[in-house]
Structure 1
């Protein structure tokens, strides 16, 4: 029934549950996940900053890591433009059967923008759209705490000589903490809501 499931993401906390739902649906129907992040542009000009494109890559990489962990095929894409237009265009161009997306971003303007994008997609899409609201409270908001949990997780997994390679960054309510270890670089994902952590992958950088 569903062969291609699109999960748009801006990396905000509100996408955490939509990612979980999208991965579950794709797993149930043996579908391919399409992870899409749109760097916004609008009538007042680009909203792009120096951090926007790296953040978009991290957002889709989070979905790729979750899908790969469950044995699901994942396609990633970064686009620039008006978010709801790019999402709808991607869905049409890639034979998407379902769109799964969050209804709110982190705070303030993010909440307005993400909610507005979702509303337009629901109204204009030609395929089913599953909307997921963030109801969990983010508990771990401090980079030092995320790094501490990541270190402990790496130690428990048998890694030694652990140092933090770069500042942890948060995407989709998950901290990504790059570590250097005796076995080489690894990335640890720390759930900002539950505090649970796991080694996501060995870094290829």
Structure 2
């Protein structure tokens, strides 16, 4: 029996599908929704008149977005009677997910896949693939 299932979440449909899968299949476990803020992923509008705005402000904006996203997840799962925890990490998403799973009491990672194939997967990389290869616990990939 899985006691703690880690589900990385963002605004994507695959992440939402992974969250649904985890709650449907592991509803008796604690679901930890993790959002990773990638400091290299600057949002549109991070530049004004060709000059970068304050990096701390960008980071705070990203953190605020993450908090709102996780609050939505918390409300949705709590309404369904699922025990949910949330966490925000900063860093490269694949590394942060693997490190979180390694450092916390995680039994399983359930992650969405964008389903990229061919050159786009090779050029862009795959967070899910990296997590599968490096995770210290089993990983379920939801397509």
Q: What are the equivalent positions in structure 2 for 1:5-20 lying under 5 Å apart?
A: 5-20=5-20
Aligned to 1:54: 64
CA distance in 2, matches of 1:116, 1:33: 23
TM-align CA RMSD: 2.1
CA shift at 1:26, angstroms?
2.6
Structure 1 runs, 4 residues or longer, greater than 3 Å off: 48-51
- Asked whether 1:36 is paired with 2:46, we answer no
> Are the equivalent residues in 2 in contact too, given 1:6–1:36 (CA < 8 A)?
yes
Aligned to 1:120: 130
> Are the equivalent residues in 1 in contact too, given 2:107–2:137 (CA < 8 A)?
yes
> Are the equivalent residues in 2 in contact too, given 1:67–1:74 (CA < 8 A)?
yes
Bigger helix fraction: 2
Task: Tell me the TM-score normalized by structure 2.
Answer: 0.75
> Are the equivalent residues in 1 in contact too, given 2:30–2:82 (CA < 8 A)?
yes
SS of the aligned residue for 2:34 comes to strand
Please tell me whether Structure 1 or Structure 2 has the larger radius of gyration of its CA atoms.
1
Higher relative contact order (CA 8 A, sep 6+): 2
Aligned to 1:77: 87
CA distance in 2, matches of 1:85, 1:100: 15
CA distance in 1, matches of 2:73, 2:108: 16
CA shift at 1:24, angstroms?
1.4
Listed as ranges, the gaps of 5+ residues in structure 2 are 44-57
Bigger strand fraction: 1
Task: Tell me the TM-score normalized by structure 1.
Answer: 0.54
> Are the equivalent residues in 1 in contact too, given 2:98–2:131 (CA < 8 A)?
yes
Listed as ranges, the gaps of 5+ residues in structure 1 are 134-205
CA distance in 1, matches of 2:15, 2:2: 21
> Are the equivalent residues in 2 in contact too, given 1:26–1:72 (CA < 8 A)?
no
How many equivalent residue pairs?
Answer: 121
> Are the equivalent residues in 2 in contact too, given 1:6–1:35 (CA < 8 A)?
yes
